[in-house]
Amino acid sequence: MTTFPIDEVESAFRTYWQTGAVGENWDAWADLFTEDALYVEHVLGNLHGREEIRAWIKPIMAQYGELYTVYEWHMVEPSGRAIVYMQNRRDRPGGEGTLDFPGITILQYAGGGKWSKEEDFWAVPAATQTTEQYETLRKQLDPEHRKKCTRNNWGNGPAWTRGAATYWEKHPKKD
């Protein structure tokens, strides 16, 4: 069994989190996977290879631009395994609170700052319920809310786990 210095796995995990969940730079995030990586998405289907991951993540994240990922906790092992527990979050239209559903990601580190596998688990009934609640509130209170891509509550994780107040702060709209 291959082992890695724990500091290396931790550093790779932080880069993974800051590039994807915080920075929402999906091209750079896809580059953090090996060319032959396996992405196991139990609801949406499995992906094989970095370019298939890239081709999938960019449009799906654009489709759900109001959704962001909030860190709860993580752990890393010398085996290269990293596990992160998160909330998939939408800010409530109207400005009061959030609509969350939990998820867990298991990653396998391959060395050199790259991941060879990601496996995602998320609470499907809660995801469906919060999506329905969001759509109802959006239609009632703020039909344009989705376009705002707000990120008003990054939780209580360390500073490196939190991003800007909106997607647009890091990704200015192109005219």
Are 27 and 54 spatial neighbours (Cβ–Cβ below 8 Å)?
Answer: yes
Give the pLDDT score at 141. Answer: 95
Give the pLDDT score at 132. Answer: 97
Are 108 and 80 spatial neighbours (Cβ–Cβ below 8 Å)?
Answer: yes
175 C-beta neighbours (distance < 10 Å), count: 3
Give the pLDDT score at 95. Answer: 83
Q: Is 74 left (phi over 0), alpha (psi -120 to 50) or beta?
A: beta
Mean pLDDT by 10 residues, the chain (175 residues): 94 98 96 98 92 96 94 98 98 93 98 98 95 96 93 95 88 69
Paired with 69 in beta bridges are 88
Give the pLDDT score at 44. Answer: 83
Comparing CA positions, the residue from 167, 168, 98 lying closest to residue 137 is 98
Are 78 and 57 spatial neighbours (Cβ–Cβ below 8 Å)?
Answer: no
Rounded CA separation 175/168 (Å): 13
Query: What would be the CATH architecture of the domain defined by 6-165?
Result: Roll (3.10)
Give the pLDDT score at 47. Answer: 95
Paired with 120 in beta bridges are 41, 105
